[in-house]
Amino acid sequence: WYQRRVRGYWDVRQDREVELHRNPTREGGVQSIAVNNIANQLCAIDNRGLLRLWDITALSEPRLVTEQQCHDNRGLKCTFSPDCSSIATTSADATMRLWSIGEEGISASQTFSSPEQKWVWDAVFSTDSQFIFTASSDGTVRLWDSQIPGLPKQEYAAHQKAVVSIAFWDREAQGFYTESDAS
């Protein structure tokens, strides 16, 4: 993804690299990338908190839609909602932010933060895009209602160390899986 100051992806059907962004200066390294469920958009967040969104409808000619400074600190994760209407970003600034996707790019929607929360490593949406789970350095997984900013709807504090990764499955809302930092 980030070599020779070029950001891009490998098109396995055509067996070639497709350039997304030429980087003449040494910008922040990419921390996370995601493709939406209908495979027409790609987003990436770097370690400076800058989010980029591309239209990849024409795989051979991707188009940069927007660049947005999403966080003041290290960006850690970006992920699309299942309904493709928004992007969640996480950061070392102890926040998860939700961004609405529109014709002209993205716009700030909401910021989610808890007073005890530390670095927010990961975020995952429920299958209906209404709820978002976050994984934090304070050992807690939090459940947020994407429509209501404020305090978390639920907190799951089961880890002694940082929760750095989370997965969610919704076979009639049975649960989620977390990965704690073993160091």
Global confidence as pTM: 0.84
- Residue 165 CB-half CA count within 13 A: 5
Q: Is residue 156 within 8 Å of residue 140, measured between CB atoms?
A: yes
SS3 (DSSP) at 3:
strand
Q: How many CB atoms are closer than 10 A to CB 24?
A: 6
Is the per-residue pLDDT at 171 higher than 80?
Answer: no
- Judged on CB neighbours under 10 Å (0-12, 13-18, 19+), 154 is exposed
Kindly indicate the confidence band of residue 90, based on its pLDDT and cuts at 50, 70 and 90: very high
Extract the tokens encoding 118: 């530390």
Quick one: pLDDT at residue 103? 81
Phi first, then psi, for residue 34 (nearest 5°) are -150, 150
Letter for the amino acid at 55? D
Single-letter residue type at 53 = L
- Confidence band of 153 (pLDDT split at 50, 70, 90): very high
